Amino acid sequence: MTILGIDPGTRITGVGILDVTYSSKKEIRILDAEAILLNPNDTMPLRLKEIFETLSSLIKKYKPNEVAIETMFYGKNAQSAMKLGHARGVAMLVAVLNDLPVAEYSPREVKKAVVGYGNASKEQVQAMVKRLLKLKATPKHFDVTDALAVALCHSHSRNFSTNVLSLRSASRFKNWKSFLENNPQKIIRYS
């Protein structure tokens, strides 16, 4: 399964793409990790267009099975929250236009899944992502390690019924057998 993790932002949007193989043991391979650096002098529509085009290109190149996006952190600045909402909306739109299911995780969920502590610092998340993915170099931007952390969190979460905003109605399946026949990637086989 290929997971596209996104840490949306209107200055920097972090992207992490992981290939996760569930065999006798879970193997994770990093396919790409990058920061979409947005020009602060551009208007908001131009920045959103850049996010859209870059994510579209990455989806076309890596063909992920699922997308995981970090939810918004609610701070004191409503204007910043609104701008972040625009970037999240664009990221979700790209996924939906490519028929990809989207999972959302709060910053606290991501930190708990990756570090084991919901109030971990960005530095702690970065160090753990580097360790878990066996990265030789630390990514320059926290946004990149945050995106990788979101993808890792999603790879750990097998409770898709609560996290995945499915594009198809669950009522489409008559029973578990028909669901599994239509979703073989959701089956984990242990040897």
Active-site annotation, residues: 7, 70, 143
Tokens 């992502």, located at residue: 129
The helix, strand and coil proportions of the chain, stated in percent and rounded to the nearest 5, come to 45, 20, 30
Cα 78 from chain centre: 24
Closest CA to 89 of 160, 29, 97, 119: 97
Distance between CA atoms of residues 137 and 80, nearest Å: 31
